Structure 1
Amino acid sequence: MPAPKNSFKAALANDEMLYGCWAGFGDPYATEVLATAGFDWLVIDGEHAPNDLRSISAQIAVLSGKHSHPVVRLPMGEDWAIKQVLDAGAQTLLIPMVESADQARALVRAMRYPPEGIRGSGAALARASHFSTIPDYIATANAQMCLLVQVETVDGITALDEILEVEGVDGVFIGPSDLAADMGHMGDSSAPPVARVIKDALARIAASDKAAGILALDHATAQEYAGCGAQFLAVGIDVVMLAQTARATMAKWRDDG
């Protein structure tokens, strides 16, 4: 029996449009609730949310069998951290601050068993192999690994064409907030110079054999990004949605009062 099919990777390869949401609570109960909305993918965020290996593992577990595919974002692309979340059952990783083709190639290798990579062979005691009930896991896992790299600096944009040539990278995600900051427009990804770079980058990615991704909370902006070629599009952040709804509810009652 082979490793489970990565439905997200397959959908990207089929040029399907995939809508996602950030899962930032760091809690499996909240992520399970979020999955009932039917998002195609959910980012279990280990960079800016209060997640660790155990909470990431628990959220991967509650998403098992759900329509929403878990995309794990690590805070960095360290080999040991990649190994741990893959053993916990992740098949798709989103790695921030990728600025060169060499860095992308190293990430590809970290996600694969030898001879294609350097992933440690210890999945027998992990969820990834269904705790040793998938006898062919190690022999077949490499083909189901999906790597999404975040390009979110001027250096990353400069190296984008070289990154797009790296075999094993499935998608490139443009980080609008960090890119804006690096370009001198802190907190304003809609600034004309930043917007031009984002749209050009999305178009270049879409024209390659990689999938283009980005986050946009504003509906009109999200539609604009989709028109530029974004294929895996994050359209919400759970923490923000709760905060906005709670504030709006309380404001309405204060106004009515």
Structure 2
Amino acid sequence: MTAAPSLAARLRADETVITAWSTLAVPILAELLGRAGYGAVTLDMQHGAHDVATVREGIVATRLSGAHAVVRPPVDDFATVSRAFDLGAEAVIMPMVNSVEDALALVGAAKYPPVGARSWGPHRGAMLQGMTAPDYLASANAETVALAMIETPAAIEALDEILAVDGLDGIFVGPGDLSLTLSDGASVTPSSEKVQGMAADVAARARAAGKFAGIFCNTTADARAAREMGFRFLAHGVEMSLLMDAARAKLAELD
């Protein structure tokens, strides 16, 4: 069930990894997405229906498919960061990281001392990776990926300071909320020229700081553009939409 190489290793090698987005609390769907060819599956607890129980089973299902398991906790739920890694996730995407303080809290929950303050208890995670506890401890800080979502003007303003936080592995742009906050709640336009231009700048600054750069892509054109911008961890495809699109296409065959 171990994914080899790890997500961290693939991102360090500058590979592009495409993650599906899982919002439905049905773990076997995560497995099917991995078997369909996605390199990773992100289990969404912020806006999706996932809770700790379905994340626990979804991580196993994702790893069974050979894909990398990623979790997005609710806003400011730093306790779930440690728990997700203990359950076997390879990466966590923390939403609404708007300051250095938020980034430090993320690192504190994601990394063991001396980098962070994560407490010990990764028995299921180590088991899923086929590792002994000492081996897991020796590699965990390098192999668990902590990504801070950049999706507000405050985060953009503090970006260089956020990127300088030791132990933070990278950023993940949320263009939907970025467009919402930039417009002061007037519109959601993730594919707009303004938002995409800011995303390109974020990617360049992240890579210059030696950090991973990820982004949520709402369209195929956005995903292709994101690769050109330097993003290497791309979310493209929400399972609910994929299912509905496939159902519509199947029914259209009979017209």
TM-score normalised by L of structure 2: 0.89
**Secondary structure in structure 2 of the residue aligned to 1:150:** strand
The structure whose Rg is larger is: 1
User: CA 1:5–1:77 in 2, change beyond 3 Å: closer, same or farther?
Assistant: farther
1:127 aligned to 124, 128, 152, which one?
124
Q: Deviations over 1:148-170 (max 9, x none)?
A: 11100111111111111122122
Question: Which structure 1 residue ranges, 4+ long, deviate > 6 Å from structure 2?
Answer: 3-6
User: Contact 1:38/1:67 (CA < 8 Å) preserved in 2?
Assistant: no
User: CA 1:219–1:106 in 2, change beyond 3 Å: closer, same or farther?
Assistant: same
Q: Deviations over 1:81-127 (max 9, x none)?
A: 2222222122311110111122112211211233432222233xx41
* Distance in 2, Cα, partners of 1:29 & 1:65: 10
User: CA 1:249–1:8 in 2, change beyond 3 Å: closer, same or farther?
Assistant: same
Matching of residues 164-183 of structure 1 within 5 Å:
164-183=163-182
* Distance in 2, Cα, partners of 1:139 & 1:225: 34
User: Contact 1:108/1:117 (CA < 8 Å) preserved in 2?
Assistant: yes
* Distance in 2, Cα, partners of 1:113 & 1:222: 33
Which residue does the alignment assign to 2:25? Answer: 26
Question: Which amino acid in the other structure matches residue 190 of structure 2?
Answer: S
**Secondary structure in structure 2 of the residue aligned to 1:247:** helix
User: Contact 1:150/1:175 (CA < 8 Å) preserved in 2?
Assistant: yes
* Distance in 1, Cα, partners of 2:233 & 2:194: 23
What's the offset of the Cα at 1:133? 7.2
Which residue does the alignment assign to 1:245? Answer: 246
**Secondary structure in structure 2 of the residue aligned to 1:81:** helix
Which residue does the alignment assign to 2:52? Answer: 53
**Secondary structure in structure 1 of the residue aligned to 2:237:** strand
What's the offset of the Cα at 1:60? 0.8
Matching of residues 1-257 of structure 1 within 5 Å:
7-123=6-122, 126-130=123-127, 134-136=132-134, 137-184=136-183, 186-253=187-254, 256=255
Q: Which runs of 5+ in 1 are unaligned?
A: none
**Secondary structure in structure 2 of the residue aligned to 1:70:** strand
- % identical equivalent positions: 34
* Distance in 1, Cα, partners of 2:90 & 2:194: 35
Q: Deviations over 1:183-225 (max 9, x none)?
A: 1152212333323222222222233301211122322221112
Question: Which amino acid in the other structure matches residue 32 of structure 1?
Answer: E
What's the offset of the Cα at 1:140? 4.1
User: CA 1:170–1:239 in 2, change beyond 3 Å: closer, same or farther?
Assistant: same
What's the offset of the Cα at 1:139? 4.7
* Distance in 2, Cα, partners of 1:79 & 1:70: 18
What's the offset of the Cα at 1:5? 7.4
Q: Which runs of 5+ in 2 are unaligned?
A: none
**Secondary structure in structure 2 of the residue aligned to 1:168:** coil
**Secondary structure in structure 2 of the residue aligned to 1:130:** helix
What's the offset of the Cα at 1:181? 0.3
Q: Deviations over 1:57-97 (max 9, x none)?
A: 10111222543101111112433222222221223111101
* Distance in 2, Cα, partners of 1:188 & 1:135: 46
User: Contact 2:68/2:90 (CA < 8 Å) preserved in 1?
Assistant: no
User: CA 1:122–1:135 in 2, change beyond 3 Å: closer, same or farther?
Assistant: closer
Question: Which amino acid in the other structure matches residue 206 of structure 2?
Answer: I
**Secondary structure in structure 2 of the residue aligned to 1:190:** coil
**Secondary structure in structure 1 of the residue aligned to 2:19:** strand
User: CA 1:133–1:200 in 2, change beyond 3 Å: closer, same or farther?
Assistant: closer
